[in-house]
Chain A
């Protein structure tokens, strides 16, 4: 079965600074990868997804992620964060065949400091 590890549970960063949220996965077969964002008292919203093709994926709100097959990673980046980016971010993986469901990481809480 696949699994996801988000390496940082909390990431504080100053406003307008760059940020990287790290995600590693394990799977014996090819996978699809997703990043979701959760604002306080809301459900999760899709930020971006990697299905195939270009390893650099651009999402909403200026976020992007890079798929690295050799390192089994899918790190999320933003060059300049805003206060409004304060939220919890979840990486998720699903095998591209079979019937195993989507698996989420434990989340990274991003706190942007003014």
Chain B
């Protein structure tokens, strides 16, 4: 039972490089999310997709783009990585039929920008 799968688990980039973080879920969920987690900051929403074909900005979208490739997959792209984007990135998914549905999280991607 995979749930939410994120790849890669670790990555080191140089400033200015680009990268795509991948996320896939096998729970037939409609909604998917990307968060970043920094020490003492909790989780901050970068982008979310309420359903296939839609995406919306969250709290901290600058420097990122997303693609909802299909119902299962939701990718996060850094076009020109900056040291401030060093963080742990989490993908999550949930049913969208009600706002009372909990989110299911992947194990994270630990990204360092040098």
Contacts and interface: CB of A to CB of B under 8 A. Distances in A.
A99 B45 CA distance: 14
Interface in B65-114: 90, 92, 99-100, 102-108
Given A43-B106, A101-B45, A106 B40 contact: yes
Contacts of B92: 43-44
Interface residues of A, number: 23
Contact of A43 (B4, B41, B45): B4
B42 interface: yes
Nearest to B35: A104
Interface string A89-106: 010001111010110111
Contacts of A96: 99-100
Given A45-B105, A49-B102, A51-B100, 11 more contacts: A42-B108, A43-B4, A43-B90, A43-B92, A44-B43, A46-B104, A90-B42, A101-B45, A102-B45, A105-B42, A107-B40
26 contacts: A9-B40, A32-B100, A41-B108, A43-B4, A43-B108, A44-B43, A44-B103, A44-B105, A46-B102, A46-B104, A49-B102, A90-B42, A90-B43, A94-B99, A95-B99, A96-B100, A97-B99, A101-B45, A101-B48, A101-B58, A104-B42, A104-B43, A105-B42, A106-B40, A106-B41, A106-B42
Interface of A: 9, 32, 34, 41-46, 49, 51, 90, 94-97, 99, 101-102, 104-107
